[in-house]
Structure 1
Amino acid sequence: MTLRRSFWHAVETIHHVVYFSPDAKAAFEAVGLKGSWMGYFASRSVALGTPPPEVVVATFHGFAPRMVHRALPSAWQLASRDDILAARLDLARSTIAPGFEGVDVAELARGLQAGLAGLDLAGRPLAAGHRALPVPDDDLAAVWHAASTLREFRGDSHLAVLTAAGIDGAAANVLAVAAGMAMDGQQQLRGWTDEEWAAGADRLRSRGWIGDDDSITEAGIIARTQIETDTDHATAAGISAEAVEHFSSVAALAVQASKQIVAAGIDPTGH
């Protein structure tokens, strides 16, 4: 038995809407952080403790390092780790709650949490940091905690595949845009200069993955598809059969919740 991509899309949707919440900036500024990006980098990496910017550059991969350095380590002097964690969890509860109408939240929390013990965390630092956090007492927050661990688990596996293929952060973003998997504004969103973006495109062009107009080639489509397949395999290799059974038992509930989150307009990416 393997987990379908619909399950992974669902847990990502449940997890990442906290960072897109219109209340996120205010929530993190209330505990001392400054601006949206400081809130993002600090709140997502805080599961690792109070890591230096170099660690966050390494684990996030797709962001220009200068963006991370503008936010960290200053964030750790402005707000305490406990306050950031508490603010993030409160924000998660309030943001995702509308998407769980009619969903058996208790059952979903039990199934997702039961499977976490069956994850092999070797080489998966963000997932490890999230799983190590205390499990919240309420079911909705426990779902978000588990979904966050799972999202970062596949994300860590994806990063390993990208780096093994020799694809750096800038090139990964150029390829995602060419493949229609990211917005045209991705360069600015991730902080890459025109020169860095062009250099990333040149590296892909030298492999025959994009053309002179930066559109994806047939070879690029094959390569990008293979990256996703390899990510699936790397992810599956780290999940025990028992954990797969737990996750599969509640996959339909996770998909239902994610669809309702999108339908409610909570997820601006429309995933």
Structure 2
Amino acid sequence: MTVPTPFWRSVETLNNYVYLVPEAAKHYASVGLKGSWMGYFASRAAPLGAASPELVVATFHGFAPHLVHRALPDAWGFASPEAVLGARLELATRVLGRAVTGEQVAPLADALTSIIEGLDLAGKPLAAAHASLEEPVDDLERFWLANAVLREFRGDCHIAVLLTHGLNGVDANVLNVAAGRTFPQQQALRGWSDDEWATGQDRLRERGWLDADGAITPAGTDARNELEDATDRACVGGMSAEAMAQATEITDDMRDVARALRASLKVPPAAPAR
């Protein structure tokens, strides 16, 4: 048994908007954070506590270390992790509430919470940190936080797969851009220098995954597809049969909520400005 890809895509959409909507920087400024990157790193890392930049580099994987060090640990001098978590949940439910009501997502919140109970969180630090947070009472909050646990669960699995295949943060980003799976501007958005990016391209050429012009090769396409398949297998390996069955059962409803959220946003989410 596997979990349908549209389930994971919906989880990703419903998680990411809270970090990428245009009003995020202003919202986190209300609790003292300075700049969109500080808001991003602090709000996503806050379940870990006052995380060091080294810990965030390790658990986020794809960001240039200097970018993280610009935001952390300074963020914790402006706002506590608890204050940041409260701000994140407030923003998440405010934006989600433009698309759905708590009553509409309450059954999905129940299902997602049940799915989480069937996860093996060993080796999945961001998912475990999110799962350790106190469950809210409000249905929109319950839905978003449970969804966030599952997003970080798959993200933790994906990082494990990337590392198993010998891909560091810059290499993974280079491959994603070449495969058309992310923003063409990903190098700048993730903070990698031209030299770092070029070195990553060289390493992928040595594997035969990029050609001389930096375009992805058939072998590179196959490798990138295998990374996704391996991530799915890693997720399945950490889910009970009941959790997988529940995820499959609610896939269509999750997709409907994700579509409603996208339709409610006046502008598409964008990566934080540097």
CA contact (8 A) 1:20 1:267 kept: no
**Structure 1 residue aligned with 2:57:** 57
Aligned twin of 1:21: 21
Amino acid at match of 1:230: A
Segments of 4+ moved more than 4 angstroms: none
Partner Cα separation in structure 1 for residue 146 and residue 93 of structure 2? 13
Counterpart of 1:221 in structure 2 is 221
> Which has the larger displacement, 210-219 or 20-29?
20-29
CA distance in structure 2 between the aligned counterparts of 1:49 and 1:262, rounded to whole angstroms: 30
In structure 2, C-alpha distance between the alignment counterparts of 1:232 and 1:114, rounded to whole Å: 19
Could you tell me whether the CA contact under 8 Å between 1:52 and 1:73 is conserved in 2? yes
Tell me which residue corresponds to 2:4.
4
AA aligned opposite 1:63: F
Aligned residue for 2:68? 68
Mapped to 1, the partners of 2:2 and 2:233 lie a distance apart of 10
Q: Which residue of 1 aligns with 2:31?
A: 31
Query: C-alpha separation between the residues in 1 aligned to 2:128 and 2:183?
Result: 29
Measure the CA separation in 2 of the matches of 1:116 and 1:208: 39
Cα offset for 1:184? Answer: 1.1
Matched to 1:141, the amino acid is E
Residue equivalent to 1:131: 131
The gaps in structure 1 that reach 5 residues or longer are none
Deviations 1:82-105 (A, max 9, x none): 110100000000111222269831
Counterpart CA distance in 2 for 1:147 and 1:45 is 16
Partners of 1:147 and 1:266 in 2: CA distance? 22
Give the C-alpha shift of residue 20 in structure 1.
Answer: 1.1
Gapped runs of 5+ residues in structure 2?
Answer: none
The residue number in structure 2 matching 1:197 is 197
Please state how far the C-alpha of 1:244 moved relative to its aligned partner.
1.8
Secondary structure class of the residue paired with 2:98: helix
With the length of structure 1 as denominator, give the TM-score of the two structures: 0.96
Which amino acid in structure 1 is aligned with residue 248 of structure 2? S
Distance in 2 between residues matched to 1:269 and 1:201, nearest whole Å: 28
The equivalent of 1:93 in structure 2 is 93
Partner residue in 1 for 2:108: 108
Please name the residue that 1:118 is paired with: 118
Distance 2:267 2:93 in 1: 14
- Identity across matched positions, percent: 50
Give, in angstroms, the shift of residue 262 of structure 1.
1.8
Q: Please state if 1:144 is matched with 2:147.
A: no
The CA distance in 1 between the partners of 2:172 and 2:19, in whole Å, is: 21
The aligned residue for residue 164 of structure 1 is 164
Q: Give the drift of 1:260.
A: 1.3
